[in-house]
Chains A and B, each alone.
Chain A
């Protein structure tokens, strides 16, 4: 039986040796979560901005809805996407279940409300500052939304990163729609869950280190970027 200390040591050795199995798992995790976050930003940021500056029926309901969906349970999203993509499901013909694409879809659904709700907040704050000036200059609401998205670009990195943090750290959705297939759909979180239950603590721990390092370094970069932007543009 390995002691905890041995596990830590072996874990560090795996990381230090850039173990290929470890590397491919980390790479897939990053690929899936980055793609999902990208989709969430492309969809969620314009929607969030329009919710902030727009005036249309149902706007309040949508705001409450997106705020609520920020806490969407990953396993439920996984289940819904599973039903959509399974052989008998409406999108079953594409054969996407248990593929990285399915994982991207599930995480994108999970993360889009987060990006949307946070973007709405950022843009709403900007709107209260710029509203009269932009209307005075004759900006349409769509134009104002686009202007404020660009103007708030540094604050919005936080929205994107919150989404990415959520995606890279979740287990439930990717487990269900990816299936945790070795070498195909195994990502950091699902591997940690599996290896821990099998008792292979070193690999699980090594992945845990990497996961924490990824999350911390991304936040550090975001912090530095915002500080730089503040000094550069005010």
Chain B
């Protein structure tokens, strides 16, 4: 598989401490999950890739520029209807009114919220808000969807629903790059695992192998500690 992103000695320092250091990585799997202990730099790595943060050293190389969308742990909903939140993202990308309307309706339908389209977004449940956020991302038809612990504050039913939706977005051809603290979720979602600790890459392994026979001791310990 050809890489869709290469990171070359990527680093981010803030006030003397290394948040991400010397990350060299070639991403080619359709669905990559970044795992690691708290504070390992998972979210930071995602933000560097998405362009929300600028690296202190190193470089990102995109063989072909990919259109991106990102879903955050806590969905930020504007004080308007669910569908207007989806339309807002499309408006910022410069789509015309017809396209916006059509795509927003379709995206809300895909996430199973067509019936709540006209509801005030902030009054929806946490799980519903996250699905609106997924619809907002999906409507942009991204080639790369980045998710930062999208189910961290959700109940199991909402979590399964989010996983289903992300699976469908992947099925539609988007590459997926996500973090999670839920090992079951990583097992279900990932083709490949990137394991990081203290800002450094520890190992990059096909998912099946990572969960059966991780190559590094650090990953073995992590799996034992995090296992339910």
Show the binding face of A for B, using Cβ within 8 Å.
129-130, 132-139, 143, 147, 151, 153-154, 229, 232-234
Chain B, residue nearest A144 (CB): B92
Partner of B76, one of A130, A153, A229, A232: A130
For A155, give the chain B residue with the smallest CB separation.
Answer: B79
Contact partners of A147 in chain B: CB under 8 A? 78, 88
Q: Is the CB of A234 within 8 A of B122?
A: yes
Q: Please name all residues of chain B whose beta carbon is closer than 8 Å to the beta carbon of A136 when the two chains form the complex.
A: 50, 52, 69-70, 72
Inter-chain CA distance A133–B133, complex, in Å, is 10
Interchain CB contact under 8 A, A132 and B92: no
> What are 23 sample pairs from A and B whose C-beta atoms fall under 8 A apart?
A129-B76, A130-B78, A132-B72, A133-B75, A133-B76, A134-B76, A135-B52, A136-B50, A137-B88, A139-B92, A147-B78, A147-B88, A153-B79, A154-B79, A229-B79, A232-B120, A233-B80, A233-B120, A233-B123, A234-B77, A234-B79, A234-B121, A234-B122
Closest residue of A by beta carbon distance from B77:
A234
Q: In the complex the two chains form, is B120's CB within 8 Å of A137's CB?
A: no
Return the 10 tightest CB-CB contacts between A and B, nearest first.
A234-B122, A133-B76, A233-B79, A136-B70, A234-B123, A137-B92, A233-B120, A130-B76, A137-B89, A138-B92
Chain A CB within 8 A of B115 CB: no
CB of A151 within 8 A of CB of B79, answer yes
Interface membership of B64, Cβ < 8 A: no
CA–CA, A54 to B77, complex, Å?
A: 21
Residues of A within 8 A of B50 (CB): 136
Nearest-Cβ distance from residue A60 to partner chain B, whole angstroms: 19
**C-alpha gap A234/B92 in the complex (Å):** 23
Q: Which residues of A contact B79 (CB under 8 A)?
A: 151, 153-154, 229, 233-234
- The smallest C-beta distance from B89 to any residue of chain A, in angstroms, reads 5
12 further contact pairs, Cβ within 8 A, besides A130-B76, A132-B76 = A129-B76, A132-B47, A132-B72, A135-B52, A136-B52, A136-B72, A151-B79, A153-B79, A154-B79, A233-B123, A234-B121, A234-B123
Q: Knowing A132-B52, A143-B92 touch, does A151 contact B78 (C-beta < 8 A)?
A: yes
- Chain A residues with Cβ under 8 A from B123's Cβ? 233-234
| A129 vs B75: C-alpha distance when bound (angstroms) | 10
Please give, as numbers and ranges, the residues of chain A lying within 8 Å of B77 by CB-CB distance: 234
Is the pair A138, B93 in contact by a Cβ cutoff of 8 Å? yes
CB-nearest residue of chain A to B146: A136
Interface readout for B38-80 with A: 1 if CB under 8 Å, 0 if not? 0000000001001010000000000000000110100111111
B50 to A, closest residue via Cβ:
A136
Using CB atoms, name the residue of chain A closest to B122: A234
Bound complex: CA A49 to CA B77 (Å): 19
Q: Closest CB of chain B to A135's CB: distance in Å?
A: 6
Interface string of B109-152 (1 = CB under 8 A from A): 00000000000111100000000000010000000000000000
Q: How far is the CA of A224 from the CA of B147 in the complex (A)?
A: 39
Complex contacts, A138 vs chain B, CB 8 Å = 92-93
A-chain residues with CB within 8 Å of residue B70 when the two chains form the complex: 132, 136
Closest Cβ–Cβ distance, residue A231 to chain B (whole Å): 8
Chain B contacts for A233, CB-based, 8 A: 79-80, 120, 122-123
Separation of A134 and B72 alpha carbons in the complex (Å): 12
Cα of A139 to Cα of B72 in the assembled complex, Å: 16
